[in-house]
Structure 1
Amino acid sequence: MSASKRQQILDTALVLFVQQGLEGAATAKIAREAGVATGTLFHHFSNKQALIAALYLEIKQELADRLPALRADQPTREMACRMWQAAMAWALDHPDKIRFLLAYYQSPVLTPATRRTAKFDTLGFVLELIKMGQARGELAPYPHELMMEACHSLFMASAGYFIDHPEQAADPRQQEGAMAIFWNALAAPGHRLP
Structure 2
Amino acid sequence: MDHRLKRHVDSMSSKSIVTTDKKQAILHSALQLFVNKGFNATSTASIAKAAGVATGTLFHHFPTKKDIMNQLFLSIKQEFATNMVSSTDFSGDIERDANTLWQKAIDWAIAQPLKQLFFLQYSMSADIDADVRKQAMNSILGFVVELITQGKQQQIIADIPNALLLENCHGQYLAAIRFFTDNPHLGDDEIHRKASFRLFWQAMKA
* TM-score bin, normalised by smaller chain: over 0.9
Give the equivalent residue in structure 1 for 2:118: 100
Give the equivalent residue in structure 1 for 2:192: 174
Deviation, 1:70, is 6.8
Distance 1:140 1:29 in 2: 47
Deviation, 1:164, is 2.2
Structure having the higher Rg = 2
Give the equivalent residue in structure 2 for 1:35: 52
Which string of whole-angstrom CA distances, capped at 9 and with x for unpartnered residues, describes residues 59-115 of structure 1?
0000000113573x4210000011011111111011111211221122222111011
After the TM superposition, which of the residue ranges 100-109 and 40-49 deviates more from structure 2?
Answer: 100-109
Deviation, 1:23, is 2.4
Partner amino acid, structure 2, of 1:103? Q
8 Å contact from structure 1 (residues 52, 110) kept in 2: yes
Distance 1:84 1:149 in 2: 15
RMSD: 1.1
Q: 3-state DSSP class of the match of 2:63?
A: coil
Give 1:137-176 correspondences, 5 Å limit.
137-176=155-194
Q: 3-state DSSP class of the match of 2:128?
A: coil
- 1:46 paired with 2:63, answer yes
Give the equivalent residue in structure 2 for 1:82: 100
Give the equivalent residue in structure 2 for 1:5: 22
Deviation, 1:50, is 0.4
Fraction of identical pairs, as percent: 38
Which string of whole-angstrom CA distances, capped at 9 and with x for unpartnered residues, describes residues 113-164 of structure 1?
0110010011011010000011111111111100011111101110122122
Distance 2:40 2:146 in 1: 38
Q: 3-state DSSP class of the match of 2:40?
A: helix
Partner amino acid, structure 1, of 2:107? A
Partner amino acid, structure 2, of 1:105? S
Give the equivalent residue in structure 2 for 1:17: 34
Give the equivalent residue in structure 1 for 2:74: 57
What residue ranges of structure 1 are gaps of 5+ in the alignment? Answer: 189-194
What residue ranges of structure 2 are gaps of 5+ in the alignment? Answer: 1-17
Q: 3-state DSSP class of the match of 1:140?
A: coil
Give 1:102-121 correspondences, 5 Å limit.
102-121=120-139
Distance 1:146 1:82 in 2: 22
8 Å contact from structure 1 (residues 98, 156) kept in 2: no
Distance 2:179 2:65 in 1: 29
Deviation, 1:167, is 1.0
Q: 3-state DSSP class of the match of 2:39?
A: helix
TM-score (norm 1): 0.93
Q: 3-state DSSP class of the match of 1:24?
A: coil
Partner amino acid, structure 1, of 2:144? V
